[in-house]
Structure formats: C-alpha cells, structure tokens
Amino acid sequence: MTLEYDGGAFSGWQRQAPGVRTVQETLEAALEKMCGHPVLVAGAGRTDTGVHALGQVAHFDTTRPRDPQVFRRALNVLTPPEVAIVDVARAPAGFNARRASWREYLYRILAGRCPPALDRQRVWHHPGPLDLDAMREASAWLIGNQDFSSFRSANCQSLSPVREVMRAEWRVAGAELHFSIRANAFLYHMVRNIVGTLILVGRGKWPPERFREVLAGLDRRQAGPMAPAHALYLARVNYGEEEEWRGDDPRAAVPAPGRAVPEGF
C-alpha cells in the first residue's frame, strides 16, 4: 500500500496500548473486517505523533486475496478521512516495507509573515526572516555515511547511530521554505533535531561552521532544540527503483534547482 495521512489525528504510526489511536491499528482493524482474520501491517517509517505522511509504504499478508483495487476502494471506505489509500499492488515474494533503499522526509517552514490560519497544523511558522544561504551551507555537512549522535534522542533504541544521508536540501516553495532530507534510515527524532539546529543558523545565532562542530561533537546536548512534529512529512520511500523526475510538485519533495529567494527570506 501507498498511503497518506494526517498525523495530527493519531498517536504516531506504531500500534500501542488498546484505545490509543494509531495509523497501524486503524489499518489493521479495517483489513481484519475485509479479510476475516487478524492482519499485521508493517510500515516503511514509524512516524511519531503529529508527523504526517505523503508517501508512506506498508505491506500486509492475507489468506483471502482480492484484486488490489478492491482493497484500495474498500479501505478508503473503512478508514477515517484522515487516512487515504493512494494505491495497492501485489508485492513480489519476500517484499518487506521496512527494507527500503531510502526514505525522504519533508519539513515545511513559513518565515517572515503572519501565522497561517488554514495550515497552522501543517507548517512551522517562524515570525522572522531566515538566512537561507547559511542554512544551505550548514546542511551540506550532513551528506555522507557518518555518526549522527548529535541529533539522536536519548530514548532512541537503534543499535548504531551511523546513517547515510544522500540529500539534504532547502528550496523555496511559494511563501515557504522546504527542507528535504533523504537517508537509508533515520534515528529517533533525527530530522526534527537537525531542523531545530539549522534554524539557529538561519536566525544568525550560529555561523554555519558551528553546525559542523556540533555534528562532529557527537553530543546531543550541544545541538539545538527539537523542531515541532506538525510540519514534518514522510514524503517518499524507495526500494531500489530508478528515480523518476516528478516536476515541481511540492508533494513529491523533490528540490527544484536554482530558484531565487523571494523578498523576506
């Protein structure tokens, strides 16, 4: 399945205690009604409470197979409006949604204007201007296979803090700044901690070189505060397919090349 959801309506992706509303539990309940047996759904990314998805990928097994589009139509009826099943397909043998080649997250920031009314739970409002060039310079040091302990939350359960970041780019999208970061995997709260630290650079409180020093220091206490969850989106998941250009669609989280920065940034 490929799906999108409003993370503000759920306590994250992963199933929790009974009565706690999560995306995984919601999908499993709907599939059990369809299939007549308990169904386990595995997702590519375990998004936190409040984090949205534009391109989450999940898989499930059933002993009562149906046409994939029957599943898609029925699931869009059986799930709440905060979840949309974009596509369903038969997976090849051995497929596991968790074994992605890379995942890409999108973070949306609205800077230098009044707070949004309609998108107040979709974008992080920053009241003052941000130095986009400085944030781009700092973000360049994220690229590569390295230890990201500086942006790892204390309760992260990953065995290793080493991750490979393939893309870390800022682009202008209308009145917003979009940060896209792609990696083979992410540590707990890694993206939000990175964005919160980059904002210190954008505000002029830190020079870009300070970001590099914090990354190399491997100490979370030296980094900036964690950015809020409501502006973060799991945008894309890839399983080794050849990448396809998707134009300048912000939902695709593909950075557009060489845009001018509008006045106010």
Give tens-digit pLDDT for 133-144: 999 999 999 999
Cα four-point dihedral sign 226, 149, 103, 185? negative
Quickly count: other Cβ atoms within 10 Å of residue 216's Cβ. 12
Measure the CA–CA gap between 93 and 183, rounded to whole angstroms: 25
Strands of the chain, DSSP E: 2-5, 41-43, 52-60, 83-87, 102-111, 124-126, 144-147, 162-173, 176-183, 232-238
The residue-averaged pLDDT of 10-17 equals 95
Mean of per-residue pLDDT scores for the chain:
91
Q: Which domains does the chain have, with CATH numbers?
A: 2-87 (3.30.70.580), 102-240 (3.30.70.660)
Quickly count: other Cβ atoms within 10 Å of residue 179's Cβ. 26
Give the per-residue pLDDT at 251.
46
Phi and psi at residue 95, in whole multiples of 5°?
Answer: -65, 140
Query: Encoding tokens for residue 264?
Result: 């106010």
Residue 263 pLDDT exceeds 70: no
Count CA atoms closer than 13 A to 155's CA, side-chain side: 0
Give tens-digit pLDDT for 24-65: 999 999 999 999 999 999 999 999 999 999 999 999 999 998
Give the per-residue pLDDT at 265.
31
Give tens-digit pLDDT for 175-202: 999 999 999 999 999 999 999 999 999 9
Q: Which residues are catalytic?
A: 48
Give the per-residue pLDDT at 115.
92
Select from 167, 179, 190 the least CA-distant residue to 111: 179
Helical segments of the chain, H only: 23-35, 68-78, 132-139, 190-202, 208-217
Task: Report the chain's terminal Cα–Cα distance, integer Å.
Answer: 38
Measure the CA–CA gap between 3 and 97, rounded to whole angstroms: 12
Give the per-residue pLDDT at 242.
65
Give tens-digit pLDDT for 245-256: 343 343 443 333
Reported as type and span, the H/E element at residue 186 is: none
The residue-averaged pLDDT of 105-130 equals 94
* Residues of the chain above pLDDT 90, percent: 87
* Residues of the chain above pLDDT 70, percent: 91
Give the per-residue pLDDT at 109.
98
